[in-house]
Amino acid sequence: MTEEEEVKKQTLKILESRSRERGKLIPILQDIQAKFGYLPREAMLEAANFLDIPESEVYSVATFYNQFRFVPPGKHQMKVCLGTACQIKGGKIVLDSWERELGIKVGETSANREFGLERVACVGCCAMAPITVVDDTVEGTISPTRIKGILLAFDLEKQKASEEGKKVKKSRKGKKAKSS
C-alpha cells in the first residue's frame, strides 16, 4: 500500500464517525492532524469530498488557522518560542541559528524528515527565556552553542543506535552459523 493509499484509508476511518455538516470541518482537520501530525493533501481532499465542499474551501480554512501544518513533522521537532519574553532575550537569533544549523526554514522539515522547525507562542517558561522545546523537553537560555550541542547529541545517539544494530545483526549471523 502506498503512503497516499494509507492516508486515504486512515482518513476514511476518521470520517466514518462524523456528520457531514460544513461546520464540522475544523474538528475534522484537527483529528486528521492529530493522526498524521500534519494535513496531508489526500486527507484534505477526502474531507472536501465527505463534506461536499470544494477543496479550495478546505485549504482556505486550514491556512487561516496557524494551528495547522502542511508538511510532515520531523522525527525531532524543534519549537522555538517567539513570545515577548523570548523575543526580548534573543528568540529571533535562536531561530536564525536553528535555521542555519538545520539548513531549513521555519515551518519546514529536513529532507530526511529527521528534524522539523516551527515557531510557537509563549510556552509558559519565560524566566528561562529564550526557549526552544526540543521534542517534549524545554531547553532554557538556549544559545547558538547549545544548539550545536543538541544536534551533536542527536548525531551521537544515532551513531550509537546504528552500531548497536550492527552488533545485533553480527551476533544473529554468528548464532546462525553455529547452528548450521
Contacts with ligand FES by CB under 6 A lie at 81, 83-86, 122-126, 129, 131
Residue 34 or 127: which CB sits closer to ligand FES?
Answer: 127
Residue whose beta carbon is closest to ligand FES: 83
Residue 61 or 85: which CB sits closer to ligand FES?
Answer: 85
Least distance CB 178 / ligand FES (angstroms): 57
Residue 63 or 84: which CB sits closer to ligand FES?
Answer: 84
Least distance CB 29 / ligand FES (angstroms): 27
Least distance CB 84 / ligand FES (angstroms): 6
Alpha carbons 168 and 1: distance in angstroms, whole number: 29
Residue 33 to residues 19, 45, 58, 111, 178: CA-CA distances in angstroms?
A: 18, 14, 13, 20, 49
Count Cβ atoms below 10 Å from residue 47 Cβ, excluding itself: 26
Residue 29 or 131: which CB sits closer to ligand FES?
Answer: 131
Query: Does a cis peptide bond (omega within 30 degrees of 0) precede residue 130?
Result: yes
CB 22 within 8 A of CB 51: yes
